[in-house]
Amino acid sequence: MEIAPGTVNPATRNDEVLRFLLTRRSRPPKTLKAPAPERAELTELLTAAARVPDHGKLEPWRFVVLERPALERLAGDAGAYAAAKGIDEATATKGINQFADSPLCVAVISVPRPTDKVPQIEQTLSVGAACYGLLSAALAAGWGAGWLTGWVAHDRDFAASAFGLQEGEWVAGLVHIGTEGATPPERPRPDMGQIITWVEA
């Protein structure tokens, strides 16, 4: 069957996926609870997360899976680190609670690859796509999920110890996954008329 230019091939259109993308919304990690995905289930989600645009097939990312015992340890480590560094209580608590309250967390690590062919910004964008891919895969599979960072991701000394960062690596996202508690209210979405420019000629 020939498809006329400018029309959609009905054989390739996936309305269910499109509907999901048009309605998906993150879940606040603080609302998540156990159970979380088992390893086999999580491996499927991570496989989906790794199927992202990756110019040069560099795989400029890796995943560190933090299960409950590790999260409990890191909550304690974050508290001790914050106290030693004089981080204010409100900020410290946000970082500590990311670990203390989470049923499961995946740290998505940027792994910049040395190459003259693929600019670092393209590698960075691929890492962001991996975060979004994991978040979306978890939501599509029926889990609650949210993507955070905060000082526990951005403080180099803490993050290097917590996530085993090598030279040049950094944390792109902490994706928390679990069973959804309260459904969050819808939030305002972009005014598409303000962010689209149509170039006709």
CA distance 67 to 13: 37
Residue 72 resides in a domain: no
Q: Quick check: is 5 in a domain?
A: no
142: phi then psi, degrees, rounded to nearest 5:
100, 5
Structure confidence by residue, pLDDT tens digits, 130-183 = 999 999 999 999 999 999 999 999 999 999 999 999 999 999 999 999 999 877
pLDDT band at 3 (very low <50, low <70, confident <90, very high): low
Any domain includes 23: no
Helix (H, G, I), strand (E, B) or coil at 32: coil
Q: Are strands 61-66 and 144-148 parallel, antiparallel or unpaired?
A: unpaired
**Does position 49 have pLDDT exceeding 60, yes or no?**
yes
Evaluate the CA torsion angle 67, 95, 126, 177 in order and state its sign: positive
Looking at the structure of the chain, the number of domains it has is 1
**CA–CA distances in Å: residue 110 to residues 113, 144, 183:** 9, 24, 31
Given a cut of 90, whether residue 125 has pLDDT beyond it is yes
Task: Please check whether residue 44 lies inside any domain of the structure.
Answer: yes
List the structure tokens of 8.
Answer: 């959609």
> Could you tell me the two tokens for 141?
């599979």
| pLDDT score recorded for residue 182 | 76
The string of pLDDT tens digits covering residues 65-122 is: 999 999 999 999 999 999 999 999 999 999 999 999 999 999 999 999 999 999 999 9
Residue 200 placed within a domain: no
Q: What is the pLDDT of residue 185?
A: 81
- Assigned domain for 49 exists: yes
The whole-number pLDDT of residue 134 equals 98
CB atoms within 10 A of CB 72: 14
* Predicted local confidence at residue 6, as pLDDT: 64
CATH number of domain containing 166: 3.40.109.10
| Range of the structural domain that residue 168 is part of | 28-66+103-180
Would residue 201 count as lying in a domain? no
193 inside domain: no
User: Mean pLDDT, to the nearest integer, of 20-26?
Assistant: 93
What pLDDT is stored for residue 8 in this prediction? Answer: 67
pLDDT of residue 143: 97
Query: Residue 200: pLDDT band by 50, 70, 90 thresholds?
Result: very high
